Amino acid sequence: MTMQRHETIRKPAAPGDAPNLRDYDATRAAFDWADAEREIDWLPDGGLNLAYEAIDRHVAHGNGAKPAMLWEGKNGEKETYTYEEMRRESNRFANVLAALGVRKGDRVFTFMERVPEIYFAVFGALKAGCVAGPLFSAFGPDPVKDRLEDSGAKVLVTQPELRAKIAEVIPQLPELERVIVVNKNERSKEPLAPGDLDYGALMREASPDFALIGATRDDYSLMHYTSGTTGKPKGAVHRHNAVIQHYLTGKWCLDLRPSDVYWCTADPGWVTGTSYGMSAPWTNGVTQVIYEGGFNARKWWQILQDYNVNVWYTAPTAIRMLMKSGAGLPQTFDLSSLRFAASVGEPLNPEAVEWGVEAIGMPFHDNWWQTETGGIMIANYASADIRPGSMGKPLPGVHPGIIDAEGNELPDGKEGNLAVRAPWPSMFQTYWRQQERYDSRFVNGWYVTGDEAVRDADGYYWFIGRSDDVINTAGHLVGPFEVESALIEHPAVAEAGVIGKPDPIAMEVVKAFVSLKDGYEPSDALRRELTGFAREKLAAAVAPREIEIIPSLPKTRSGKIMRRLLKARELGLDEGDTSTLEED
């Protein structure tokens, strides 16, 4: 495959405002996880509690009055919480749980919008030694039931409208003992369902001091169900030790500094929203913006401007939606505070990396990781040149490789399975109640990620596709990402999803589905034009044989293109697990 098709974006050799990771090569050569203790001056010798390190530690060091959270509700309400207030609220919630008889290791789930109370509940649960599991608020009753049932959650913290949405499944969950309802609008208080508990009343009674339940580094902390892009979501379980990697990646990959205002657009229902919406930012002592509302291009630029955001972490789908509304729009806002912008969750098309330069005066920095890895593994760093379309280079201490089916490492330039030498601090510890499945992900000391990639001679990693999505056409392996990236360079194309369609002669042929930008209409002429366009950009074997224009691509609620669904629909097959499918 042709790896680099876009020009390298160079970084200044000696930036005036030197980033946290000034010399990637030197740091990587010298760093091992055993050195983490030296690199992180706050690491305690014995127990480790993620919530304490993220919140209380700052209070203990005299920074309690510093704002930790600047919250904006979807109707414009604003609330600010200092580190000290976060400490007190999370302690109160830990006391609430303890008083309810919740014990170490019990699962405490949340099903809430992005309101401040979700952060108090998750940190409170961690302080009480529980395993916290945040669920995305847009789920319907069935996905919520599946996850609560599978995890055996004992407590659910939710909100009135969300409680109503899942009312029918609550009685079907024998392990669920308590439902705690957070009603932010005290005046319009609906009566609680019988047996439910009122968050406000419990918290008023609870003490703001709590003696932390000792957690060892290996105690479970959070569990997240994967995005369900490739099949039924799995409950990846993490441990407190992950905080080491959260902190260091926040510093090295996102360039977080204690004086920063930071905005992560991910919901706590997905791992990005906890690792990089709770742990990494607050262990790094930043002030974090949390916006409850959903995507809106104008509103998002407004937030970046009004809160003077310095570091912004978002996702490819959001960037493509911002691109759809044009680079002119951000230019009408004052984004002079912004210093670093990063992206995760899906491959980031080179077009999108470069659009950053035009729209916000800097490229988007792509990085790669998964629910299972718990933290960033491969990244584009503030100090390092960017090869647009590449995921970047491994985090110091992380050792990925490209391996074949037997677990043998392949040389540079050879495509294969992306794997990582186990372990690393934020590595998942099990798939909940599916230990065999967990074990099956490890071969020869490698954790096999399920993604295909290739490494170039300079150590940059290039994503090809998920192993399930890679297409075999007439003996060539084709990654959907390469084809999709070429198609979205056409001015009419907003998004593209590419699949392999079974073919009697070629085994599979490449078929592309595209959605159009505003102002373009589907037509045969446009389809022909796109076919010609793709043939100019791609090798003959790789260019799509068929292109179909559809109104929008099926995506998970976290914004990932579900190619398996495009394929199932194309072939008239069963759609499989669609619990995370976004509804139009």
**Binding residues for ligand ATP (CB under 6 A):** 226-231, 233, 344-348, 366-368, 370-371, 391, 449-451, 463, 466, 560
Task: Decide whether 73 or 450 has the Cβ nearer to Mg ion.
Answer: 450
Q: Which does 314 bind (CB under 5 to 8 A by kind): Mg ion, ligand ATP, none?
A: none
Residues 6 or more apart whose CB falls under 8 angstroms from that of 295 comprise 318, 321
Q: Which does 49 bind (CB under 5 to 8 A by kind): ligand ATP, Mg ion, none?
A: none
Distances (CA, A) of 375 to 82, 276, 279, 411, 450: 26, 8, 10, 26, 16
- DSSP per-residue letters across 103-153: -TT-EEEEEE-S-HHHHHHHHHHHHTTPEEEEEETT--HHHHHHHHHHHT-
Residue 88's contacts (CB-CB under 8 Å, 6 or more residues apart) are 208
Hey, which residues does 235 pair with through a beta bridge?
225
Least distance (Å) between residue 313 CB and ligand ATP: 12
**Of 8, 5, 3, residue with least CA distance to 357:** 8
288 bridge partner residues:
69, 262
Write down the least CB distance from residue 495 to ligand ATP, Å: 15
Q: Which does 346 bind (CB under 5 to 8 A by kind): Mg ion, ligand ATP, none?
A: ligand ATP
CA gap 491, 122 in Å, rounded: 44
To ligand ATP, the closest distance from the beta carbon of 101 in angstroms equals: 33
CA 313/CA 292 separation, integer angstroms: 16
**Contacted entry of ligand ATP, Mg ion, none for residue 466, CB cut-off 5 to 8 Å set by kind:** ligand ATP
- Whole-angstrom Cα distance, residue 413 to residue 264? 34
| Euclidean distance between CA atoms 527 and 372, whole angstroms | 39
- Judged by beta carbon, residue 230 or residue 287, the one nearer ligand ATP is 230
Phi, psi of 106 (to 5 degrees): -65, 150
Distance between first and last Cα of the chain: 35
Site for Mg ion in 11-30 (CB under 5 A): none
Shortest distance (Å) from residue 438 CB to ligand ATP: 13
Q: Which is nearer to ligand ATP, 101 or 231 (CB)?
A: 231
Q: What does 391 bind: ligand ATP, Mg ion, none (CB cut-off 5 to 8 Å by kind)?
A: ligand ATP
The nearer residue to Mg ion, 428 or 462, going by C-beta atoms, is 428
Residue 560, binding choice from ligand ATP, Mg ion, none, Cβ under 5 to 8 Å by partner class: ligand ATP
Q: How far is the CB of 456 from ligand ATP (least distance, A)?
A: 15
Least gap, CB of 370 to Mg ion (angstroms): 5
| 116 vs 316, beta carbon nearer ligand ATP | 316
Residues 204-243 that bind Mg ion (CB under 5 A): 226
Cβ of residue 234: shortest distance to Mg ion, in angstroms?
8
Interaction partner, residue 20 (ligand ATP, Mg ion, none; CB < 5-8 Å by kind): none
Phi, psi of 291 (to 5 degrees): -110, 125
Binding site for Mg ion (CB under 5 A): 226
